[in-house]
Amino acid sequence: MKETYYLNQETLPQMPVPHDNQIKRITVDQEFITFFLTAKDYPDDGIRVYHPEAKALMMRFHLTYEDDFFLVKQQTRRLAHLIPHFLLPATFTWRSRYISMRNKKLNGLADSGEYLDYIAHYVDYEQIFIRFGFYSLEASVDYVEYEWIS
């Protein structure tokens, strides 16, 4: 089943957010950025909440202009994952920075072996901001297609 959400209308759509689902594949061509997500086996799954029979979701973001997106990666300290949080003072915060990445890296990002989970997206007029894994993607988009795969 296909659904289309237009971001260039007078009112913005309420798009489903398939949170906490693994991104299996990301492809980029001249007109679209495509995310292919798979459903998990628990009832509160981000895909199955909206369509209980769906096993996967393909999200296609139609770019307003060719190659009009921006990809950044959040990078924390190297040893951040080795220190248990209960050993740190309550006022401690991790210092992180954002690194700009080349748009070409997005094409093979899901194939790199790194676990990417879809966290959230934020919608504005002809803009979308997507958080997945340690990455953020900002793109000029005029419509988004959801294809629920059973």
Give the three-state DSSP class for 57. Answer: strand
pLDDT reading at 89 higher than 70: no
pLDDT digits 0-9 by tens, 10-28: 888 889 888 888 889 999 9
pTM: 0.81
Angle at the Cα of 7 from the Cα atoms of 6 and 13, rounded to 5 degrees: 70
Which of 120, 103, 109, 118 lies closest to 68 in space, CA to CA? 103
pLDDT digits 0-9 by tens, 33-66: 999 998 877 766 778 888 888 889 999 999 998 8
Using a 10 angstrom Cβ sphere, with 0-12 exposed, 13-18 middle and 19 or more buried, the burial of residue 111 is exposed
Could you tell me whether strands 2-6 and 21-28 are parallel, antiparallel, or unpaired per DSSP bridges? unpaired
